[in-house]
Amino acid sequence: MSNLTVNKISIVDYESKVANTFNFSPKANLIISKSNGQGKSSLVKSICYGLGADLKSFPNGWEPEKFIYQLEVTIGEQDYKIKKQNKIISIRGEKESAIFKNRKEYSKWLKDKLGMSLELATKNGEKLSTAYCGALLSPFYIDQDKGWSGSLYKDTFEGLGQYNATVFPKDVIDYYLNLSSGELNIKKSHNEKLKNKNKFLQGKIEQILAVYETYEEQNQVNTGYPIDIKELQVEIEK
């Protein structure tokens, strides 16, 4: 799996014609301020948003659709410029360029460049589904928002609710820690399918038993076996 390093981000307010650029060290970066409300969270959110993850909440007054986000990143040994404006993402590298109009195709491109094969079980799907950018980036995003109350990460990025709660985010973290594999995820998905099928059939059985018990009580059905043909005929007529 290849590393992804964010070297620079430019945030452009094309209506006001104002832009800010932030450069980062290839090593650790510490972002601090003397007081709250200086833009630390907005910067971290903008990086994730620019990489393709659709956040559920931004600080008050920050409307992400009004800005253009351009990141300069290194994936493995290749440099790319990733630009996002609303739902459209474009990439440009030394040897390729492309425009993506949906998260699925861009997520496939990013996974391919990162050398990842991660797929996740969804709530209703019988097969594993593509892990979108939000799922890929979720273990690296920590902020004081709703994503840390209740279900981990669920209220951080859009689209995470589609994944089965029994495997997300555990399978994503296990994948990064090399504790999981594609074959194991397929087995887990099949196991969830069998559990859901068993739950459905158990419900049908309980419904049938309830109907039978009601009929038996209302019609005073004798649950014993008939001892002759005449008694059997009476039972059938009932």
The answer on pLDDT for 109 being more than 90 is: yes
Express the helix, strand and coil content of the chain in percent, nearest 5 each: 40, 20, 40
Of 73, 99, 116, the one marking the end of a domain is 116
Residue partners of 8: CB distance under 8 A and separation at least 6: 21, 22, 23, 24, 71, 72
**pLDDT of res. 182:** 60
Do 199 and 212 belong to one domain?
Answer: yes
Do 96 and 47 belong to one domain?
Answer: yes
* CATH code of 62's domain: 3.40.50.300
Do 6 and 97 belong to one domain?
Answer: yes
Do 97 and 136 belong to one domain?
Answer: no
The pTM (predicted TM-score) of the whole model is: 0.72
Do 111 and 189 belong to one domain?
Answer: no
Note down the domain range covering 107.
1-116
For the record, the structure tokens of 191 come out as: 């196991």
Of 54, 81, 116, the one marking the end of a domain is 116
**How many residues make up the chain in this entry?**
238
**pLDDT of res. 158:** 85
Of 74, 95, 116, the one marking the end of a domain is 116
**pLDDT of res. 52:** 92
Do 205 and 144 belong to one domain?
Answer: yes
Rounded distance between C-alpha atoms, residue 224 and residue 232, angstroms: 11
Rounded distance between C-alpha atoms, residue 139 and residue 4, angstroms: 14
**How many domains does the chain divide into?**
2
| Closest residue by Cα to residue 113 from 2, 235, 196, 236 | 2
Do 112 and 140 belong to one domain?
Answer: no
**pLDDT of res. 231:** 79
The answer on pLDDT for 161 being more than 70 is: yes
Instruction: Please write the tens of the pLDDT for every residue from 60-70.
Output: 777 888 899 99
Do 63 and 41 belong to one domain?
Answer: yes
